Structure 1
């Protein structure tokens, strides 16, 4: 199909052809024929993709890709020379060491065709003919950040159908690799964000001992916990679950923890703090996600004041064996404007345990579909009542790991008021 300005678009499907890289006679001369389904083609393609993977953070990687394409396929496709153009918003600038690189506007006819079609072969001149739209040029759009256009000069023996099919294959592989690398980069950013949220050490509150555990189901999850502020009189802490996984969940968890830290520093009351945080989240760009949390302040004398915002209810295991659920508070934080939150209270006697998990622990299933559940956790707490909370936490970790594979982020905080004497 021929379009304006001599641009030829490859729109028909290429018939499946078995073409080995053999030598054929053309007007008495011998030339190579490219088989894009051969092992050699994909070995050469993989070598170019390795340049992409190794080149993250290196501004010259795209030039090496351009050179690699010419080295691997230039003779077979009759391509030579060309350049790299980089999108600078409003214009593409030649990627060169020259002090006055050539540029071409994004509104130029040739650029518009390349952006629309991905791969273009220009048989006659089009546009302003600066580096891109002149005759005998093949152009490939690469969806990097920023976008790039690779250009190659077409030799007289270039076959349009073969060149375009090969360049489209190359472009598809390059874009896929770039997208994969971006995804990995985003996950690493999310991992660093999540790691920065977790406390580096367990705090000290006279008369109490604390333990905490957190493990994401994937590289990055939405669970979080933090010891927000403390002194010799009291300690404020939180455990929560931002919905989803990956960068979005990590960003939301970061915003929640940051908001809580600011509120605690301003000495806001727990219920007021959660209510204001809920209003901020509802107006945020991540407001389509939900966050549950359990926020508590533990006083040295044994008082625990808390707000439960839609979180699985923690419970206190009394030294007597009785269990007290901590479910006072309000709704989960999310896209809806929150209502009022109430503050709950429980008193810890010496020897009492408080356990605050996320649902990833309680809902861990075995091969039969049976959940780990609260009853199993309570049994472990009762069986290990005389041990340190660190030892109890390790016992829970061991048993839940043997119960079944992790399917959701798993986090908990465990604390005990130490027995007197």
Structure 2
């Protein structure tokens, strides 16, 4: 279940990330940086429209149908993007639809992991599951820029189409919905433990605070995944070399998510490590600004470290939301969690692109560094869980 959840989410991430890595190709063809950033934001904007709805469907029908069916729809949407080629308007529409359909894997794959792993091992399991995002970005970074530069947009979209199609079949066959308390009790004839059904957003502000923290922390993450390649090319790197470094940085970040998950299991807390990660994100973004100003030769090392730090919060926050929401609300809560993040992520493409045009990369990195600082007082002091 964990392997299929990781693979499904990685395929969705590949689809969502690919347009951002087409920016150098589109910019070379005359598209402005802000316009290319808008196209890159189309998939995340599509996800915002459907994440909560997919979560509600998952709560009602189960994980297998949502993941497999969503991947089928994603395959069709990316095939549409392949068919329209370089037309920016139609390409934007196709990417919007691809984002709407790929959102199915987000909440549903997280629920698979939460449902099949006990709390004392869930941080590790969710850390592995959260590898899917940097792994998807890694796969995109080492394939999309090179294929686009050599053979155009269509060549860069072949892998997302094939991968989503194959995983749709594998998930339909291999995923088993995790047992829920009511279902398990019905099979054994025992009385089910009380399962909270009340709206968790009304009883406490915990979920709202985690959502707000995640929105602030996702901006540094998407700033680097969207414009890290462009920044390196501006420093004199070739596009293929920069793509490989961005991919390597995402892979290191994927390993970091596992370590952070293990850390949270050992200290029996999600919010404590989350607070430290937020502070670290502010520091590394400020260091990136310093590197850009001083032209230090350590740009590659700093980018790898910064990428690793800025993706480390996702698994902590995601697990915390699922545990606080409980089994009857986790699909919708995880959908809301991702919705807030992707609203912010959708603004990163055009917003940071325009900001770079005004104040340069150093000024942009420094302004982004302020957001994790704002997140620190919002991190709750103690965890909340229905387990």
Specify the TM-score bucket, using the shorter chain as the normaliser: under 0.3
* Structure-1-length-normalised TM-score: 0.18
* Structure-2-length-normalised TM-score: 0.20
- Determine which structure has the larger strand proportion and give its number: 1
- Determine which structure has the larger helix proportion and give its number: 2
Higher relative contact order (CA 8 A, sep 6+): 2
